[in-house]
């Protein structure tokens, strides 16, 4: 697994995808809980939810920079990406 802007076009590893999804879902549930179930001031709620939403956006954006490097002369068709074993890829020459 590699990280960087040059990995945007490569398939994202499945473990990274699921970790970022879990962070996204937990953050959303946390925001709902803060808004609905706490007795803190509306201004503080707004600040917490705003910063949490910004952090979630930043983390989700960074998830696309993880990728599995492919050899220079190879490519993957878009319909075949779902069938890749992205946790432990084996590149055959």
Task: Give the pTM.
Answer: 0.58
**Which domain covers residue 25, as residue numbers?**
2-70
Q: What is the per-residue pLDDT across 13-41, written as a single tens digit (0 to 9) for each?
A: 778 788 888 888 898 898 899 888 878 89
Task: Give a yes or no: residue 62 inside a domain.
Answer: yes
Work out how many domains the chain is built from and give that number: 1
pLDDT above 80: residue 88: no
DSSP string, the chain: -EESGGGTTSPPPHHHHHHHHHHHHHHHHHHHHHHHH--S-HHHHHHHHHHHHHHHHHHHHHHTTEE----TT----GGGGGGS-TTS-----
Look at 30 and 75; give whichever has higher pLDDT: 30
What pLDDT, on a 0 to 100 scale, did the predictor assign at position 4? 74
Task: Give a yes or no: residue 52 inside a domain.
Answer: yes
């Amino acid at each position: 697994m590699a990280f960087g802007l040059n990995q945007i076009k490569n398939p994202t590893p499945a473990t990274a995808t699921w970790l970022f999804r879990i962070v996204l879902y937990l953050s959303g549930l946390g925001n709902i809980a803060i808004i609905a179930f706490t007795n803190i001031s509306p201004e503080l709620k707004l600040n917490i939810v705003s910063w949490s939403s910004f952090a979630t956006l930043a983390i989700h954006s960074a998830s696309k920079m993880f990728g599995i490097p492919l050899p220079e002369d190879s490519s993957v068709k878009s319909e075949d990406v779902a069938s890749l074993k992205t946790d432990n890829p084996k590149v055959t020459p």
